[in-house]
Structure 1
Amino acid sequence: MSQVSSSHNAPVLGALFMLGAGITFAITNILTPIITWQMGVPSTAVVFWQYVIATVIALPLIFRIGLGALKTRHPGWHEARAFLSALGVQFFAFGFASGVPVWQMVALSMTGPFFIITGATLFLGEKLTMRRLGATSVGFLGALMVTQIGSEQFTLASLLPILAAACWGTVSVITKYLSRDETPESLTLYMLVLITPNHFLIGLLLGIAVAVLPAGMLPASLATGFDFVLPGGDALWLIVLLGAVTAGAQYFFSLAYRVADATYLQPFDDLKLPLNTLLGWIVLSQVPALWFWPGALLILGASTFILWSETEKRQTLSVA
């Protein structure tokens, strides 16, 4: 969901809502590997039904915004934004299905701000300062440490959350571009309405790839294509729970950004890293590797520095 600063300012309430979003986000990151990695349900199917259920539950939010907010001069950019967001979710879920641990997935997904800086510099004409360049370099150094590249523990699947972060970072750049003449309600509504059809589209494209590409070119967990049929048994109920929790996260994010400013909320959003690491440790017995700790600190530190630097710049411009 788009992160748009609010005209209201209820910091304590906003922090609580963001904490609720972090907890629900952590629950989804525990349920997804259980359903995909442990139960063997294809990640593409899990994500599709997850967002079908979440969209149905989010219908009151959609109607509260009002379908009139769909009026736009940029339908193509809205579709690109929704497709990349869905693709990022697919990369993220496939990472879990490939056995990448929760602590690694979440830490590497937090490289998003560095892709946002790159995209804003290349496509929006924003200036690349030494602060931005330095913070981005430090953040990616931390990411390399978390992936354990160069060690026996490194796998190509470890790059999947970085691909997800690149998709989501690009989404943020497009959102920044659209926000020049699109309302926050329009940005939010288009994402809610288009995200599920784009998961369906990705599934169809995967099916075409399976039919066209030679055997062995796709990973085994994707080589079966995309089955649109809901699984049964315990997997079904866990997917229903996953969809409900995903909808809960959408509501929490919406409420948080309605009552407090995005810059104030960012540190509370960063709490998702310790929350996910702790929950993955307790529920899935996934103990973080030694290099995770300094790498995660570098990612968090660089992200926090970017937030501070950008906030300071905006305050200076407003005073001037």
Structure 2
Amino acid sequence: MSTIAQRHTSAGLLFILIGVVGISINDLLIKQLSGGYPLHQVVLARSAIALAFILFMVRAEGGLGILKTRQPLLHMARGLLVVIANMTYFVALAVLPLADATALFFVAPLFITALSIPLLGEKVGAMRIAAVMAGFAGVVIMQRPWADSTTLTASRLVMVLPVLSAFAYALMQILTRKLGATTKASAMAVYIQATFILVSLSFFLLAGDGRFADGSDTPSVQFLLRAWVWPARDDLPLLLGLGALAAVSGYCLSQAYRLTDAATVAPFEYVGLPLSVLWGWLFWAEFPAREVWMGIALIAGSGLFVFLREQHKARIIARSAPQQRL
């Protein structure tokens, strides 16, 4: 691995860690707001604020000219995938404990690593594949497919939503890798936030009066379709924080997948697992079940193994490379 490639890998890992921490806090704030606002109103406020932040990044990376693209359909597909990923995940988050929803979503890095082989042509060795399979086993344990539905915290349908979200997210990141060669991270973030705004406004026009939520006492349905309300003064800082986090996290994730191959970056998204446990315990007194702890151990262990394996391979290649005389 060349010095430039090593720098790109290090920068990519730093960006992914910042992005994951931001997303984890974002989930915390959205779950906090899910009892009083419709999802599309929260998303619109978040994206509008985020777009204002991102435009400053666009200026720093070259100005409005970088928003021009020769691949509008791919950017549109990427935006729709991230909307699907967010909507399905947040609807589940209104019902599931934060740690459980995050754990179910964390099949996403496994999807990314697996999809990077056929879609990106990236090479993933047997050891990394084995580690990914161990992480996937951890996700299955967290889902508890053997348990009786009456003992679960939510219906089977709700528990499937984070997995659907994970698959859409994985496809979105694969597109990020393809588009990243010709598109700046800030430009990709603008396209995503613009898509969120358009979808949220469409929801407002169709369901903003709450008529589709009438008669339903299901928290997920209420969160998705309840009527818009004017934000309370105490909630305004939360909405502002959501926008800032969306801008920073979206930029960092795009940069991470632009600079480093997907199979290396993806496992580090597992950092969000212990963070979700911490937030759930601190804010809602949620304590994960034994199966959740077992799954987290397997997933975190597999992610750490992948990282150590990559570092070991890089050192071997560096030692075997011919040394140039100064």
Partner of 2:238: 238
Partner of 1:111: 107
Q: Which amino acid in structure 2 is aligned with residue 28 of structure 1?
A: N
Q: How many residues are aligned here?
A: 310
Deviations 1:80-108 (A, max 9, x none): 112111221222221222x2111122233
Unaligned 5+ segments in structure 1 are none
More deviation, 293-302/5-14: 5-14
From 70, 89, 92, the counterpart of 2:89 = 92
Deviations 1:108-159 (A, max 9, x none): 3332222113323444455676445534432222112112333222533223
Work out the CA distance in 1 between the residues paired with 2:127 and 2:10.
30
Q: Which amino acid in structure 2 is aligned with residue 71 of structure 1?
A: K
Work out the CA distance in 2 between the residues paired with 1:216 and 1:302.
45
> What SS class does the counterpart of residue 287 from structure 1 fall into?
coil
How far has the Cα of 1:61 moved from its partner?
0.8
Partner of 1:295: 295
Residue 189 of structure 1 pairs with residue 190 of structure 2:
no
Q: Residue 208 and residue 317 in structure 1: after superposition, are their counterparts in 2 closer, same or farther (change >3 A)?
A: farther
Q: Give the share of equivalent positions with the same residue, in percent.
A: 28
Residue 45 of structure 1 pairs with residue 41 of structure 2:
yes
Work out the CA distance in 1 between the residues paired with 2:292 and 2:310.
27
* TM-score normalised to structure 2 length: 0.73
Work out the CA distance in 1 between the residues paired with 2:11 and 2:4.
13
Residue 70 of structure 1 pairs with residue 103 of structure 2:
no
Work out the CA distance in 2 between the residues paired with 1:88 and 1:31.
17
Computing the radius of gyration over CA atoms, which structure comes out larger, 1 or 2?
2
* TM-score normalised to structure 1 length: 0.75
Q: Residue 170 and residue 252 in structure 1: after superposition, are their counterparts in 2 closer, same or farther (change >3 A)?
A: closer
Answer yes or no: is the 8 Å Cα contact 1:35–1:41 preserved in 2.
yes
Q: Residue 261 and residue 291 in structure 1: after superposition, are their counterparts in 2 closer, same or farther (change >3 A)?
A: same
Deviations 1:276-311 (A, max 9, x none): 311221122111111111111222233344455566
Q: Residue 302 and residue 276 in structure 1: after superposition, are their counterparts in 2 closer, same or farther (change >3 A)?
A: same
How far has the Cα of 1:274 moved from its partner?
1.9
Answer yes or no: is the 8 Å Cα contact 1:19–1:268 preserved in 2.
yes
Answer yes or no: is the 8 Å Cα contact 1:8–1:259 preserved in 2.
no
> What SS class does the counterpart of residue 146 from structure 2 fall into?
coil
Work out the CA distance in 2 between the residues paired with 1:297 and 1:288.
13
Q: Which amino acid in structure 1 is aligned with residue 24 of structure 2?
A: A
From 122, 136, 147, the counterpart of 2:143 = 147
Partner of 1:198: 196
Work out the CA distance in 2 between the residues paired with 1:45 and 1:296.
32
Partner of 1:61: 57
Partner of 1:30: 28
Work out the CA distance in 2 between the residues paired with 1:266 and 1:116.
7
Answer yes or no: is the 8 Å Cα contact 1:83–1:195 preserved in 2.
no
Work out the CA distance in 1 between the residues paired with 2:182 and 2:57.
19
Residue 79 of structure 1 pairs with residue 80 of structure 2:
no
